[in-house]
Amino acid sequence: MSSINLIDAFQDFKDAENIDRPTMMKVVEDVFKTLLRKKYGSDDNFDVIVNAEKGDLEIIRRRMIVEDGQVEDPLAQVGYSDAVKIEPDFEVGEELYEEIDLLDFGRRAILAAKQTLASRISDLKKNVLAKKYGDRIGEIISAEVYQVWKKEILLLDEEGNELILPKSEQIPQDYFKKGENIRAVVARVDMKNNNPVIILSRTSPDFLAKLLEIEVPEIFDGLIVIKKIVRDPGERAKVAVESYDDRIDPVGACVGMKGSRIHGIVRELKNENIDVINYTSNIQLLIQRSLTPAKITSMELDNEAHHANVYLKPDQVSLAIGRRGVNIKLASELTGYELDVYRDNEGEEEEFDIDLEEFSDEIETWIIDELKRVGCDTGRSVLNLTPEELERRTDLEKETIADVRRILKEEFEKE
């Protein structure tokens, strides 16, 4: 019989390992039964037989042999004289199996069938991919950087599927090169022009949650539960945790001995500061813990308005607010309360200031320590002294002092 070369189409199936054989057979059968219905009006008496390994296809037609002149349904019956032309040994009442030559359908119909088959395979692959990653939303995966663009990065997973990491889902300090393996969480699966687009994220709270689950066995085992995570990616994160076992300190378990567990996560998140706090249903205590590292003196709560006035010693105000107001913003998100910070002795709102420790990514630690040695522990306390006074009182060089003052001034001008 004249055959049709389906090897290319079947190769597509074999390449898509997640498409099972029964699904493959069903798709091929559907495509060619559609072809039969167009030509004969029905596919009831036809069998489509596929050899997926060789790429061969056979169509067998079944008809009952009846006496000449008694053919009522030409699709299901054949006259005796016509049957013996095919095989002389046939008798009335037997079933005639006849192989259909595919070329009888016409080359145009065959080409259309091949195109339909390729299209169905493509759709199946898309559905398999969308379902695979739809089921993995919230999971961490590792993928290789294939292409770096201005607004996004294209990655490939171990099966060669394309994944997208948009700029908006990258930590500001992230910098990746082609061929590098990176970890991210599956954020969502979008459909664009009927194609699934898998979006990854490194800024999602889920990414930090999964990293903690990997590093902290007690979280993986369910002994410690993460109640809430808020992040300013690359800057600071706050994690509220609770233990279901009184013998386990949830904060200590998450941080690890000498910070051993949290350090790996901090490196992965490009030195993002992570505050791990004990969750409590006592909102006043939760607010106090959420403003870490600042220490609160007193507090006025308005539960109806979800608002709190927090009073601190003057040297704690800048710690509570944090650089660019990040600390108080995250504390507010974590607790669900709007927080206002005041000096405890005057009840007046503190003039905005920033603790020097917040500049540790731009100013070297030994320089900060030297400034603290002379009593300058905030940005404004440094700027309130003249360069000459700083040079006289510290062991810092004129150029170093100028750099420090420039960094501090730029930060306050932003605010």
Q: Which residues contact 331 (CB under 8 A, 6 or more apart)?
A: 238, 287, 290, 291, 320, 339
375 or 330, which is more confident? 330
Tokens 């002389």 belong to residue? 88
Q: 27 pLDDT exceeds 80?
A: no
Q: 248 pLDDT exceeds 60?
A: yes
Q: 11 pLDDT exceeds 60?
A: no
Q: Within 10 Å of residue 184's Cβ, how many Cβ atoms?
A: 24
Question: Mean pLDDT throughout 34-38?
Answer: 78
State the CATH architecture for 208-279: 2-Layer Sandwich (3.30)
Q: What is the CATH code of the structural domain delimited by 137-203?
A: 2.40.50.140
Mean pLDDT of the chain: 83
- Predicted confidence at residue 15, as pLDDT, reads 53
What pTM did the predictor assign? 0.65
Q: Which residues contact 394 (CB under 8 A, 6 or more apart)?
A: 370, 371, 373, 374, 401
Identify the CATH class of 7-132: alpha beta
Question: Mean pLDDT throughout 292-303?
Answer: 88
Query: What's the CA gap between 283 and 303, in Å, rounded?
Result: 9
Q: 2 pLDDT exceeds 50?
A: no
Lowest mean pLDDT among 71-75, 188-192, 211-215, 402-406: 71-75
- Predicted confidence at residue 3, as pLDDT, reads 45
